[in-house]
Amino acid sequence: MQEDFNYHASLYANDTHPYRTPTSGGAGIGDGMNFLSSFPYEDMDRETWKDRYGLIGNGSDELTPKGFMYNQVKIADGVYVDVYNLHADADTDPKSQAARRSNLTQLATYIEEYSKGHAVIVFGDTNCRYTRTDDNLKALFVDRLGMKDVWIEKIRNGSYPAMGADALLGVSGSTSPDTEVVDKIFYRSGNGVTLAPTSYKVENTYFTDSAGNQLSDHYAISSNFTYTSDSRLTYSDLWGGPGGITFNFLRSMAPLNSKPVFVSIYGGNRVDAISMAYADGTVLSNGGTGGNAKTMALNGDEYITKAVIYKNNYNKGDRIFYLELTTNKGQTLAQGVKSGTPITLTAPEGTYIAGFFGRAEANIDKLGVIYRSKTK
């Protein structure tokens, strides 16, 4: 949702989704965005736009901290999708257009950093039209991030409107190739998860009151997706806290195409970093530069089959304090201090631990493992 301000309590009182984000405040305080889901989410972040315009005489974009939300959603065991919700600057004067271009660039940069290797869905009020020469929607989300627009794909058969052409205003509330709305739904698949939209619709009858009146100044738009997961890969649960930057060893194809031959853990009182080298020469690492290294070599028929992870609170957030890896040959590699709450992740029969994902910066804040099939 966007512009969820002064009716928030009424909306939530009548909503039955089991997973809902808390409000960030009413108009002038909050960003107006919220996330209601049938699926649990591991992480959530709110970011305010760095550039906004329109305090006096040109709308109200500086009167409330608009921006975007990030949620990492677990749609099934071992299947994650990064979901983004945005509300960009409005109006078409030069300063508003410059602010809006900055908004979308800020979001694209965040997605590049935080969603490497992940399947992604982006939706919300872009306040953009493909026909406007000063909007950079296609350049950022399609050309730069490799995403697809569901309206373009399902309704226009892949054809983008010409930049500089007349706006496609069509019939208000119509799902039509000739009716472009500023609300958009983008998506891309990730390593291990393939997304496919099956529908796109402007909800001109569902999103109304009992008399048929619009509930908002925009009709809602909707899309249904199917997903398939790569039979060679699955993700574990995650363990830890919300700090750091999201990482995923599947930003590289090495965990799919090559066997791990070395693994290193850096740490002392906590786990600072983790690194894995593959037979094809690829080395993948995440975390900080502190701590001492402990390394384990894996023989040709040796695989990591179990990870024991301890999390505990440090500096107002959970971090990874201890990591222990065990192979099918009984060899172990451990780093850090057993402190806090443990989880044991065991590779399902016929698989092994081929990589890691989670959140990290100076330390490892959150950690999960990637299971790879031995036979596919």
Residue 116 in this model has a pLDDT that exceeds 60: yes
> Quick one: 140 and 23 in the same domain?
yes
What is the mean pLDDT of the segment spanning 342-352?
97
Q: How would you class 304 by CB atoms within 10 Å of its CB: exposed for 0-12, middle for 13-18, buried for 19 or more?
A: buried
- In what order do the strands lie in the sheet containing 341-346? 332-336, 317-327, 304-314, 341-346
**Are the beta carbons of 3 and 32 closer than 8 angstroms?**
yes
> Quick one: 42 and 114 in the same domain?
yes
> Quick one: 223 and 276 in the same domain?
no
289 three-state secondary structure: coil
Work out the mean pLDDT of the chain and round it to a whole number: 93
Q: Which of 223, 132, 157 is nearest to 186 (CA)?
A: 223
Provide, rounded to the nearest whole percent, the portion of the chain with pLDDT above 90.
Answer: 81
Q: How far apart are CA 287 and CA 60, in angstroms?
A: 40
The reported pLDDT for the residue numbered 60 is 63
For residue 130, give the CATH number of its domain: 3.60.10.10
User: Is residue 216 situated within a structural domain?
Assistant: yes
> Quick one: 182 and 268 in the same domain?
no
Q: How far apart are CA 95 and CA 129, in angstroms?
A: 17
* Structure confidence by residue, pLDDT tens digits, 131-169: 999 998 999 999 999 999 999 999 999 999 999 999 999
Locus of tokens 């290193």: 264
The reported pLDDT for the residue numbered 55 is 59
What does DSSP assign to residue 191? T
The domain in which residue 62 lies consists of: 8-229
Contacts 24+ apart (CB under 8 A), 210-218: 214/173, 216/3, 218/125, 218/181, 218/182, 218/183
- Give pTM, 2 decimals: 0.91
Residues paired with residue 366 on neighbouring β-strands, in sequence order: 240, 359
User: Is residue 2 situated within a structural domain?
Assistant: no
Q: How far apart are CA 303 and CA 135, in angstroms?
A: 50
3-state percent breakdown (helix, strand, coil) of the chain, nearest 5: 10, 40, 45
Residue 56 in this model has a pLDDT that exceeds 60: no
What is the mean pLDDT of the segment spanning 47-74?
82
Residue 359 in this model has a pLDDT that exceeds 90: yes
Q: How far apart are CA 49 and CA 57, in angstroms?
A: 20
How many separate domains does the chain show? Answer: 2
Locus of tokens 């979001």: 107
User: Is residue 332 situated within a structural domain?
Assistant: yes
> Quick one: 284 and 242 in the same domain?
yes
* Structure confidence by residue, pLDDT tens digits, 186-234: 999 998 899 999 999 999 998 888 898 888 888 999 999 999 999 899 9
> Quick one: 95 and 218 in the same domain?
yes
Last residue of a domain, one of 172, 202, 229: 229
Residues paired with residue 194 on neighbouring β-strands, in sequence order: 228
Name the residue type at position 132: R
Provide, rounded to the nearest whole percent, the portion of the chain with pLDDT above 70.
Answer: 98
Q: How far apart are CA 124 and CA 184, in angstroms?
A: 6
> Quick one: 100 and 122 in the same domain?
yes
User: Is residue 195 situated within a structural domain?
Assistant: yes
> Quick one: 116 and 239 in the same domain?
no
* Structure confidence by residue, pLDDT tens digits, 306-340: 999 999 999 889 999 999 999 999 999 999 999 99
The reported pLDDT for the residue numbered 124 is 96
The reported pLDDT for the residue numbered 214 is 87
Q: Which of 302, 261, 265 is nearest to 280 (CA)?
A: 261
> Quick one: 215 and 290 in the same domain?
no
> Quick one: 121 and 253 in the same domain?
no
